[in-house]
């Protein structure tokens, strides 16, 4: 009865002695194997290269090409190198055994043949070959699945980054629109109201002290509202950035920050003005703006430094404070830090954050200049 584990398993028998060849063929055929006989080495090589079997029984001592040379050629050919080879030998020389294993053989069967031993060794290595082939196939399938999943992940990341860039652009456009409306509509209205209140205050002296006090209070309230409005408008979209450029906008923002918070700021820029496109200039300004906001909210710093340097092929920004610091890898990431990282990444740049508890924080960002974007 044919064993299901041996069905479809083809074994090539390379043996120059006809009696031994017939014995092995009959033994393996009865056990359910498909048998392919080859009486000499050259024929075995041609047959194996044309249609590789699952297992080869190979006699060592043969005229012409001996078993060792056949094995060497099989293992040097990509088509046949993975076929298990079992040597057939009447020799008991340990040197021959070592040589056979060095050439890539998996086992030896000694002559004269004992049927139980032959079947046991063939069955063992045929099963190992079947398991190996199945494992290799599963590895290929899993590798293909992983590559497909990786491709989908890369595509998703690319789409998310495109979406993040789109949202950043929409946010900047919305900020610009709101800032323009605040400045053009509400700002002008408040300015007109302030003028009228100023006139009313001057005229109210004729109406008594109480009217003067109320007019003065209203005038002061409008003044404060105008200042607040101007600050909000500048925070949304600094008009100075569009009119005077990045250097002036950063200098103005840092000066206002220092006056408002009392935190000493040192600003160094190696250019009086930077010739940058609008998107890159906005990104650098927002990076400085967000970093200063984080310092104010979290750092408890006494002083900080901001450097912007125009290098040969990049713009380098460094912001460092002497605050309480944190562990970047263990602390909870704020949306401010994540926003800075995404903004820099979208322009092909690189951002690093170095910090330790009690040792402040340092943010380094490098933006490639237009035309030199990182790949």
The per-residue pLDDT for range 65-123, each reduced to its tens digit, is 999 999 999 999 999 998 999 999 876 677 888 888 999 999 998 888 889 999 999 99
| Closest among 279, 330, 269, 1 to 165, alpha carbons compared | 279
With cut-offs at 50, 70 and 90, classify the pLDDT of residue 183.
low
CATH class of 238-375: alpha beta
**CA 64 and chain centroid, separation:** 57
Q: Answer for the pair 54, 6: CB distance below 8 angstroms, yes or no.
A: no
The more confident residue out of 234 and 66 is 66
Averaged pLDDT for residues 233-239: 61
Q: How far apart are CA 268 and CA 324, in angstroms?
A: 23
Has domain 10-113 been given CATH number 3.40.50.2300?
yes
Strand bridging mode 303-310 / 85-89 = unpaired
With cut-offs at 50, 70 and 90, classify the pLDDT of residue 157.
confident
- The pTM assigned to this predicted structure is 0.45
Q: Is 34 exposed, middle or buried (0-12, 13-18, 19+ CB in 10 A)?
A: middle
- What pLDDT is attached to residue 373? 47
- Tokens representing 2 are 């044919």
Q: How far apart are CA 158 and CA 369, in angstroms?
A: 22
The alpha carbons of the chain give a radius of gyration, in whole angstroms, of 41
Give the burial string for 43-81 (b: 16+ CB within 10 Å, else e). Answer: ebbebbeeebbbbbbbbbebeebbbbebbebbeeeeebe
Q: Answer for the pair 252, 289: CB distance below 8 angstroms, yes or no.
A: no
Query: Is a pLDDT exceeding 70 seen at residue 168?
Result: no
Q: Delimit the domains of the chain by residue range.
A: 10-113, 150-237, 238-375
């Amino acid at each position: 009865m044919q064993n299901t584990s041996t069905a479809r398993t083809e074994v090539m028998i390379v043996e120059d002695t006809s009696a031994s060849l017939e014995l092995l063929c009959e033994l393996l055929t009865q056990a359910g194997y498909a048998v392919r006989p080859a009486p000499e080495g050259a024929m075995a090589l041609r047959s194996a290269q044309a249609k590789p079997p699952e297992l080869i029984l190979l006699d060592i001592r043969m005229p012409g090409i001996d078993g060792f040379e056949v094995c060497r050629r099989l293992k040097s050919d990509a088509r046949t190198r993975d076929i298990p080879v079992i040597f057939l030998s009447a020799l008991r020389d340990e040197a021959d055994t070592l040589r056979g294993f060095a050439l890539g053989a998996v086992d030896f069967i000694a002559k004269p043949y004992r049927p139980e031993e032959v079947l046991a060794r063939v069955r063992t290595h045929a099963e190992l070959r079947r398991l190996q082939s199945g494992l290799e196939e599963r590895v290929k399938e899993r590798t293909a699945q992983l590559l497909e999943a990786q491709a989908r992940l890369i595509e998703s990341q690319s789409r998310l980054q495109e979406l993040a860039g789109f949202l950043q652009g929409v946010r900047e456009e919305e900020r610009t629109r709101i800032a323009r409306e605040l400045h053009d509509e509400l700002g002008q209205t408040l300015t007109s109201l302030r003028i009228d209140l100023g006139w009313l205050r001057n005229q109210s002296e004729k109406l008594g002290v109480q009217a003067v006090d109320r007019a003065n209070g209203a005038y002061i309230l409008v003044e404060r509202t105008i200042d607040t409005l101007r600050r909000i408008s500048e925070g949304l979209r600094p008009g100075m950035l569009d009119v005077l450029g990045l250097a002036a906008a950063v200098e103005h923002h840092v000066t206002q920050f220092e006056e408002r918070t009392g935190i000493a700021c040192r600003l160094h820029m190696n250019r009086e003005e930077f010739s940058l496109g609008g998107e890159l200039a906005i990104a650098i300004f927002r990076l400085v703006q967000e970093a200063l906001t984080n310092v104010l909210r979290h750092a408890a710093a006494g002083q900080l430094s901001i450097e912007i340097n125009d290098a040969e092929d990049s713009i380098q920004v460094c912001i460092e404070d002497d605050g309480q610091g944190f562990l970047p890898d263990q602390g909870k990431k704020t949306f401010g830090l994540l926003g800075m990282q995404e903004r820099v990444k979208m322009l092909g740049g690189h951002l690093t954050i170095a910090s330790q508890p009690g040792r402040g924080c340092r943010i380094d960002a490098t933006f490639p200049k237009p035309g030199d974007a990182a790949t």
